[in-house]
Chain A
Amino acid sequence: MIRLVDATKAFRRGRDVEVVALDAVSLEVTKGEFVFVVGPSGSGKSTFMRLLTREQVADSGEVWVSGKNLKKLRRWKVPLLRREIGYVFQDFKLLPNKTVRENVSFALEVIGRGRKEIRARVPEVLELVGLTDKAESLPHELSGGQQQRVSIARAFVNNPRLLLCDEPTGNLDPATSVGIMKLLDRINRTGTTVVMATHDQQIVDSMRRRVVELEDGRVVRDQVRGVYGYGA
């Protein structure tokens, strides 16, 4: 599903200071896996995710996602890649003037799906995330946890093979986070590969899934049934 070979990405800050966000990262994630990417703020987690959606391109090394070498991917094919990937943000990024249903439908409309399909699929996904009765609410009428469910519904409505979540529980309280994790776990069980960046120790420890730890852009640990820190 995902393969990185010595992927490196650096950013210029000012004239000659260079920040290496990812430093020769090699990593493989197979189909159906659930992977935590952990590490302190600034360790390169988001950059890793952005390489996978080709928001950014690696300076050197290779990045493969679902069989495509992203360095060689033509620009016009990038949207097609993104249709195979769902993306969930820490701050939800819902459209404030659209209802829950419209926010989710939007993701299908803009990739040209038919109205019939949209009408059938959206309620399914809203049911999956437990928001059937909030379909006509506006985002600001929802709690943080509910908004994050909408954002997951939007990411998942197109049945992506890969779900990328960048600190999805970063803005949520622990109890709400547990609910979100259960939802992601359920999505993972449908066969969807889930990669989740987080620095929430409790969540990682409770899930007992594969953990990839980044530090200053380097992979310092890759554990199959891991916990957040070495000491634990």
Chain B
Amino acid sequence: MARWRYVLVEALAGLRRNLLMSFAVVLSITVSLTLLGASLLLSEQVELATDDWTGRVEVSIFLCDDRACPAITTQQRDQLEADLEANPVVAEVFYESKREAYDRFTRLFADQPTLIEAIDVATLPASFRVKLENPQLFGVIRDQFAAYPGVEEIVDQRDVLNQFLRFTTLVRNAALAIALVQLLAAGVLIANTIRVAAYARREQTAIMKLVGAANWYVRLPFVVEGIIAGALGTAAAWGILYGTVPRVTRDLAREVELLPFIGVDQVVAIAPLMALAGVGIAALASTLALRRFLRV
């Protein structure tokens, strides 16, 4: 018991002794882990969006309704449907009427009455919604069906998503790269701090070794000191993410209706991983810093 209290008391005393340096360590861990957490969350976001999109319609073939081109006839429509179903590239086809399109739209924008007021059942075109065996084969469909009578436009829905995903992945990779560099810098800073701490207490550790304290026990207060700083920084970083991310994604979700966004759940879910990274780097850096310094 006395031993464990000693370890904790010494660790806290060490943090207090060099408050400025401890602050720098906590800050650097906070910065690096905020970035790391952000990149993890971006990954989650990409995954969530992709999952949601997979299984959704990949290609929309909008049909003429007399606005841009003469309305499609029933015969033309049946022919188009039959040809689509016969096409080996097509996995699944279903028809969405004007009514269904309107219903979906009102569901999607349920909280934006002004948008819904602006349209009525006649506004949105009917369409064939097509799932492909291989989403890359969009070109085949477009080439083959764009010229069909009664077809107004063929849209690859994935284009919208892909742009978003590409951008998000880029941001995530950048955040991850900076986070790792920062984490390395934080590790070096911790190692240096711990070395200074060990040097400041070298008389005490010399006596401990001389009276036969176990090696791990001589080192533990310093490692715990590093771990406490690491844990504080991790907690701060997580707090920042917890306070900002759900708010930002809530606002985004209002703007971008088509995509699902991550929220509090995902921020909570990355907590263990962040703790592992933050506390892990601190423990590793302190242990390495002491390897030569406190050898028997």
Contacts and interface: CB of A to CB of B under 8 A. Distances in A.
Which of A78, A110, A118, A154 is packed against the most chain B CB atoms within 10 Å? A110
B203 A53 contact: no
Interface string B169-204: 000000000000000000000000000000000011
Given A54-B296, A79-B296, A118 B2 contact: yes
B212 A82 contact: yes
B291 interface: no
A95 B203 contact: yes
* Chief secondary structure at chain B's binding surface: helix
B209 A82 contact: yes
Given A109-B2, A112-B3, A115-B1, A154 B296 contact: no
Interface string A53-97: 111000000000000000000011011111111010000010100
A148 interface: no
Contacts of B217: 110, 112
Contacts, number: 62
A82 B211 contact: yes
B215 interface: yes
Interface string A145-160: 0000000001100100
Nearest to A83: B212
A172 interface: no
A17 to B, nearest CB: 25
Interface in B1-49: 1-3, 6
Contacts of B215: 75-76, 79
A93 B208 CA distance: 11
A224 interface: no
Contacts of B6: 109-110
Contacts of A80: 212
Given A95-B203, A109-B3, A75 B211 contact: no
Contacts of B91: none
B210 interface: yes
A78 B213 CA distance: 9
Nearest to A106: B207
Nearest to B217: A110
A187 B285 CA distance: 45
A110 B296 contact: no
B206 interface: yes
A111 interface: yes
Nearest to A81: B212
B212 A93 contact: no
Given A75-B296, A79-B296, A93-B206, A107 B211 contact: yes
Contacts of B110: none
A111 B207 contact: no
Nearest to B206: A93
A79 B213 contact: yes
Nearest to B205: A110
B214 interface: yes
A111 B204 contact: no
Contacts of B214: 76, 79, 111-112
Nearest to A54: B296
Contacts of B213: 79, 110-111
A63 B217 CA distance: 27
Given A54-B296, A79-B215, A95-B203, A110 B3 contact: yes
The 4 closest A-B pairs by CB, nearest first: A82-B212, A83-B212, A110-B213, A107-B211
Interface of A: 53-55, 75-76, 78-85, 87, 93, 95, 106-107, 109-112, 114-115, 118, 154-155, 158
19 contacts: A53-B210, A76-B215, A79-B213, A79-B214, A82-B210, A85-B212, A87-B210, A93-B206, A95-B203, A106-B207, A106-B211, A107-B207, A109-B3, A110-B6, A110-B208, A110-B211, A110-B217, A110-B218, A112-B214
Interface of B: 1-3, 6, 203-204, 206-215, 217-218, 296
Given A82-B209, A85-B212, A87-B210, 12 more contacts: A79-B296, A80-B212, A81-B212, A82-B211, A84-B212, A93-B203, A106-B207, A107-B211, A109-B3, A110-B6, A111-B211, A118-B2
